């Protein structure tokens, strides 16, 4: 079975799905949806279609480890996602994932204007990579 990592956002959400062996990122993409209920339904459909049995949802924490309004939104979305998919998401500390994603895109020659379209998928890939690293 596969792992799906999610970098939840207000208008755009990054998604990364592992390969069947749970060792690599097999696909990464973004979903543009501002409505949390519709997003949860869309991701639940992806879960079924791709044979996902583990969800990992990025939990945005402050640098001191505390949680703010963004973490509260992520926790609320986790509940919606569990309701739609039947899988309780693992909440994953995503501190610096977006910063690292921008650095990766910049290092690979992507201009800042183009980062916006790809940064969420790359951030989801980083969340997935971090989680998969704990499985070995």
- pLDDT number for residue 105: 62
Residue 109: predicted pLDDT: 64
Q: What is 2-135's CATH number, 3.30.870.10, 3.30.420.140, 3.40.47.10, 3.90.870.10?
A: 3.30.420.140
| pLDDT for position 115 | 62
Tell me which residue of 39, 31, 119, 53 sits closest to 127, measured CA to CA.
119
Rounded CA-CA distance 134/81 in Å is 23
What would the pLDDT profile of 12-37 be if each residue is shown by its tens digit? Answer: 999 999 999 999 998 999 999 999 99
- For the chain, give every domain's residue range: 2-135
pTM of the predicted model, to two decimals?
0.88
pLDDT of the residue at 110: 64
110 or 77, higher pLDDT = 77
* pLDDT tens profile 84-120: 999 999 999 986 666 666 566 667 666 666 666 688 8
**What pLDDT is recorded for position 94?**
83
Average confidence (pLDDT) over 61-68: 83
Binned at pLDDT 50, 70 and 90, residue 82 comes out as very high
């Amino acid at each position: 079975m596969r792992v799906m990592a999610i970098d939840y956002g207000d208008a755009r959400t990054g998604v990364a799905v592992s390969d069947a062996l749970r060792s690599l990122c097999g696909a990464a993409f973004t979903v543009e949806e501002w409505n949390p209920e519709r997003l949860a339904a869309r991701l639940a459909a992806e879960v079924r279609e791709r044979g996902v049995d583990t969800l990992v949802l990025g939990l945005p924490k402050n640098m001191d480890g505390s949680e703010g309004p963004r973490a509260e939104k992520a926790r609320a979305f986790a509940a919606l996602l569990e309701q739609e998919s039947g899988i309780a998401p693992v909440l994953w500390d995503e501190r610096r994932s977006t910063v690292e994603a921008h650095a990766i895109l910049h290092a690979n020659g992507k201009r800042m204007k183009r980062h916006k379209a790809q940064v969420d998928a790359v951030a989801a890939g980083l969340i997935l990579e971090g989680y998969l690293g704990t499985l070995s």
